[in-house]
Amino acid sequence: MYIIVVGGGKVGYFLSLALLSEGHEILIIEREADKCKVIAEELGSVVMRGDGCEVRTLEDAGANRADLLVAVTHRDEVNLVACQVAKHKFGVKRTIARISNPKNEALFKMLGIDVTVSSTNLILEQIEEKLPTHSMSHLLTLEDGNLEIVEVNVQTGSAVIGKKVSEIVLPASSLVCLIINAAKGAQVPTASSIVEAGDHIIAVTQPEYEAELRAALTG
């Protein structure tokens, strides 16, 4: 594939390195001369100096034959415009934008950006998962079905300890799928399975019932 990467900072550099090693044709567009020089020295002639939002720059970059454009500068508005110019002026089929402000995700989707990657959200999620006090973490979001898979840690003092699964009142569209116990391992629960302190519960729910599920399993 021919892939244009807008932004030659750390993300752009390491992304390009990975894509090059997979055998793709890469062109990095970077505005700063110093960064261009470093990239050219490290990765070879895969960098072009210019503004990736400019029609002329993208024209010179051969955007009309690009399979994919990935905009990973640290500025959301630059990433948005680079993707929109690529898509609407040069017919690039797939565009990916990095987002710093998580609030921009909805807007970018609405404006036709195919994929958005929120670096702030990714870091937040990683840290949240590592927080010992955090009782519930997201494992996976199934966007098509509006479902998510979450993990709940049953902490000492929780009201569900000693209860059978059938006795726990769950919100609508929610299901306990798996109970992971330190001694017994992972088990698909039956109605009579009993929840113990320290268990990890894997459950399926819908985003709107997440808070209720959390309350039911940790309250």
Partner 1 sequence: MKIVIMGCGRVGGMLAGLLDEAGHQVTVIDIDSWSFRWLPRSFSGKALVGDGTDVETLRKAGIEEADAFVTTTQGDNRNVMAAQAAKHIFNVPKVVCRIYDPLREDLYKSMGLETMSPTKLGANVLMDIVLGKGG
Least CB distance from residue 134 to partner 1, whole Å? 25
60-71 exposure pattern, b = at least 16 Cβ within 10 A, e = fewer? ebebeebebbbb
Query: Sign of torsion, CA 23 65 45 4?
Result: negative
Contact predicate 64/58, CB 8 Å: no
Contact of 77 with 84, CB cutoff 8 Å: no
Interaction of residue 29 with partner 1, rule CB under 8 A: no
Which of the residues 57 through 86 are near partner 1 (CB under 8 A)? 75-78, 80-81, 84-85
Nearer to partner 1 by Cβ, of 84 and 205: the residue is 84
Tell me which stretch binds partner 1 (CB under 8 A): 33-41, 50-58, 115-123, 136-144: 50-58
Query: Using CB under 8 A, which of the segments 12-20, 54-62, 121-129, 151-159 binds partner 1?
Result: 54-62
State in angstroms the smallest separation of the CB of 118 from partner 1.
14
Map the footprint of partner 1 across residues 95-114, applying CB under 8 A.
101, 103-104, 106-107, 110-111
For the chain, helix, strand, coil in percent to 5 are 35, 25, 35
Please, which residues bridge with residue 178 across strands?
Answer: 202
Virtual torsion, Cα 8, 104, 96, 45, nearest 10 deg = -10
Task: State the nearest-atom distance from the C-beta of 162 to partner 1, in Å.
Answer: 45
User: Least Å distance between CB 40 and partner 1?
Assistant: 26
Chain contacts with partner 1 (rule: CB under 8 A): 53-56, 75-78, 80-81, 84-85, 88-89, 101, 103-104, 106-107, 110-111
